[in-house]
Structure 1
């Protein structure tokens, strides 16, 4: 998992957002988000995602103090299916 937060509040995520890839970056991502607002998330470069990746997106909402829905640009069909099956489509605006 790779990530970058731009000055305009866009969090770009890339690579694998999976249960095996996220733990190595989890603490540093949480520190980055601690005092920053994320206006949108770009997931166009996410190659593989599972429910742990959706948990990362929900964590962003938590850091935004519950501001929903979170706009996610470049969502893959895989992400759309997981969000629907998980029942969190009201929390994430996928485009």
Structure 2
């Protein structure tokens, strides 16, 4: 298991490691106190190596958390595994405006 980290980068934020049911609770404890400071924020998933349904749910909560603070999150480098989860969960249309092409 690879711990997932929430890192501030010059261009936004990055999630790295595994985003799974084992790592999400500790990660969410860190992220839920985050207050966006701009109207748009990029979250890179380039260094995220594994994502399960708990990770997908956390990302949906992160998008909603940001929206409640008037911030629009764009996910970049979305892994194919996560795209498949979006499709299987029938939520890809809900997230289409949050995935950077």
Shorter-chain TM-score category? 0.7 to 0.9
Compute the RMSD of aligned alpha carbons. Answer: 2.3
Aligned residues: 92
* Aligned equivalent of 2:54, options 49, 52, 55: 52
Larger Rg: 2
Question: Secondary structure of the residue that 2:22 maps to in structure 1?
Answer: coil
The structure 1 segments of at least 4 consecutive aligned residues displaced by more than 3 Å after TM superposition are 66-70
The equivalent residue for 1:3 is 6
Query: Partners of 1:57 and 1:44 in 2: how far apart?
Result: 14
* Aligned equivalent of 2:28, options 26, 29, 32: 26
Flag the 1:19–1:59 CA change in 2: closer, same or farther, 3 A: same
Question: Secondary structure of the residue that 2:46 maps to in structure 1?
Answer: strand
- For structure 2, which runs of at least 5 residues remain unmatched after alignment? none
Q: Compute the TM-score of the two structures, normalised by the length of structure 1.
A: 0.79
- For structure 1, which runs of at least 5 residues remain unmatched after alignment? none
Judge which range, 41-50 or 66-75, deviates more.
66-75
Q: Contact 2:19/2:50 (CA < 8 Å) preserved in 1?
A: yes
Q: Compute the TM-score of the two structures, normalised by the length of structure 2.
A: 0.75
